[in-house]
Amino acid sequence: MEMESVFLDNLPDTANMILNILWDRNEEMCTAELTEAVNEVYNRRWEKGLIQEFINLLIRMDYVEKKRHGFRVYYTALGSDYEL
């Protein structure tokens, strides 16, 4: 499956990769799911800790929203519910 990626100039490549996964999947994802998806789509071997650092950056920059469901934390791209 070929995924079209958009890279924003003001973000590091890793943050852009995470954001593209969230836009493409258009659903809430936990850190483990995001790590697996980034590693699969972009052929990387990154650990959850690294992905979490960039998720936190995206939250601080208002690109991603954090939601808690019980003990699990999920992330979604802000504005991902809009259709282009």
pLDDT tens, position by position, 35-80: 999 999 999 999 999 999 999 999 999 999 999 999 999 999 997 5
CATH of domain 13-77: 1.10.10.10
**Global pTM exceeds 0.95:** no
Going by pLDDT thresholds of 50, 70 and 90, the confidence category of residue 84 is very low
Domain parsing of the chain, residue ranges: 13-77
Angle at 73 between CA 18 and CA 40, to 5 degrees: 35
